[in-house]
Structure 1
Amino acid sequence: MRSRRDVLRALWRQLPFFVWLVALWMLLWQQLTVLSLLTGIVAAVFVTRVFRLPPVQLSGRLNLLYGVVFVVAFLADVVRGSLIVAAQVLDLRRQPGAAIIAVPLRTDDDLIMSHTAVTASLIPGSLILEADRDRRILYLHVIGVRSNTDLERQRRSVLAWERRIVQAVGSPAQLVQVGVRPAEGASR
């Protein structure tokens, strides 16, 4: 039998996902009203009680500085990627070139893998085709590839996103896996 303290600790750990479900509900309805908040809470309770998923273990660490770095870098890459793709489309002299690449990730965490995959897909010019969970490999379709140097640049870009995500929310062990000393990026 679980103690009351264990139950409260489990609920506290799941709170970010519950809040995310409510926010997602409000975004889907495109309303920031009290009614959408209340129906979002009802929907989140329903989803979390009916669809029992294994609890996601968060690292318990959030580095706001690296979170801001991630958001700023992401927005800059979205703008940069949009401009590059637009230029490739408008350049009628040559085809942009495309490839499917495999990017082996360094961390062994489903949440980090999911965040990395979503981030890579949201940046124009690349799209996740498959995520091999067992081998920790993301397969991407990328455009604007003309050489092996371009392929390696794309791989390094995905690994840089993994590193930024780990620096923002990863555990000290994950920081080591992506090549960051915990003292550099482990502050709470």
Structure 2
Amino acid sequence: MNRDNVLRVGVLIWLAVVWVALWGQVSTANVLAGLAVGAIIMVTLPLPRIPVRGRLRLLPLLKLVAVSVYYGLESSLQLAWFALRPGPPPVSGVLKVQFAFRSDLVLVLCTNLLNLIPGTMVLEIDREQCVVYVHVIDVGSEKAVAKFYRTIRVLEQLLIDAFQRRATPLPPPTGQEVNQ
């Protein structure tokens, strides 16, 4: 069985699992209906092919998940502190981030990870240059900006380790822009 067929079967099984979860009851009829609905969806609404290069590495992927959860929790606590503390709101701004990877799939995964971290939101993606502009809730100090870029570089390296064979060298830390 080739890679495309394995992927199709995986998507079909995932759609069936979602169907059964939506019905809230595991039964033979629900599983068969889920497979049928999944097959209809796959035939009538096919996803475009995304060229995937490289290999999936399980250990870096697990580390990526753990680090992402940690950053999400840390950011949630930071936002809660900003909401509860006395004083003015933090200075927010838009930061430019240049990534070393060139894969569209990895860029999408990274963008989604950034959007899941509270206090950050990707505003614009330049696919050709692999640059994203991210709104960050706290850019009031050099320390906060440096922490954001450290977080980005950790996520970037974990994504490269988990999904790509090789990567271009990481961009230098100079040229980071802050627009407030």
Instruction: Assess same fold via TM > 0.5.
Output: yes
Whole-angstrom distance in 2 between the partners of 1:47 and 1:13: 15
Give a deviation string over 1:99-155, Cα, whole Å, max 9, x none: 112212211111101110111111111112222222222221111211344334323
Aligned match for 2:71, one of 77, 86, 93: 77
Map residues 43-54 of structure 1 onto 2, 5 A cutoff.
43-54=37-48
Higher RCO structure (Cα 8 Å, ≥6 apart)? 2
Secondary structure of 2:96's match?
Answer: strand
Shift of 1:42: 3.2
- Go from structure 1 to structure 2 and tell me whether the alpha carbon gap of 1:101 and 1:74 turns closer, same or farther (over 3 Å shift): same
Whole-angstrom distance in 2 between the partners of 1:123 and 1:92: 23
Matched, 1:173 2:173: no
Shift of 1:163: 1.7
- Go from structure 1 to structure 2 and tell me whether the alpha carbon gap of 1:144 and 1:9 turns closer, same or farther (over 3 Å shift): closer
TM-score, with length taken from structure 2: 0.77
Question: Corresponding residue for 1:139?
Answer: 133
**Is 1:14–1:55's contact at 8 Å kept on the other side of the alignment?**
no
Whole-angstrom distance in 2 between the partners of 1:154 and 1:26: 40
Map residues 86-105 of structure 1 onto 2, 5 A cutoff.
86-105=80-99
User: Which stretch of the first structure deviates more once superposed, 87-96 or 154-163?
Assistant: 154-163
Whole-angstrom distance in 2 between the partners of 1:118 and 1:23: 23
Matched, 1:109 2:117: no
**Is 1:128–1:140's contact at 8 Å kept on the other side of the alignment?**
yes
> Mind listing any 5+ residue stretches in structure 2 that lack a counterpart?
172-180
**Is 2:160–2:166's contact at 8 Å kept on the other side of the alignment?**
no
Shift of 1:79: 1.2
Question: Corresponding residue for 1:185?
Answer: none
Aligned residues: 170
TM-score, with length taken from structure 1: 0.74
Map residues 31-42 of structure 1 onto 2, 5 A cutoff.
31=24, 33-34=26-27, 37-42=31-36
User: Which stretch of the first structure deviates more once superposed, 97-106 or 151-160?
Assistant: 151-160
Whole-angstrom distance in 1 between the partners of 2:170 and 2:34: 36
RMSD over aligned CA atoms reads: 2.8
Give 1:144's aligned amino acid: D
Give 1:162's aligned amino acid: E
Whole-angstrom distance in 2 between the partners of 1:18 and 1:130: 32
Secondary structure of 2:56's match?
Answer: coil
- Go from structure 1 to structure 2 and tell me whether the alpha carbon gap of 1:82 and 1:169 turns closer, same or farther (over 3 Å shift): same
**Comparing both structures, which one devotes a greater share of its residues to helix?**
1
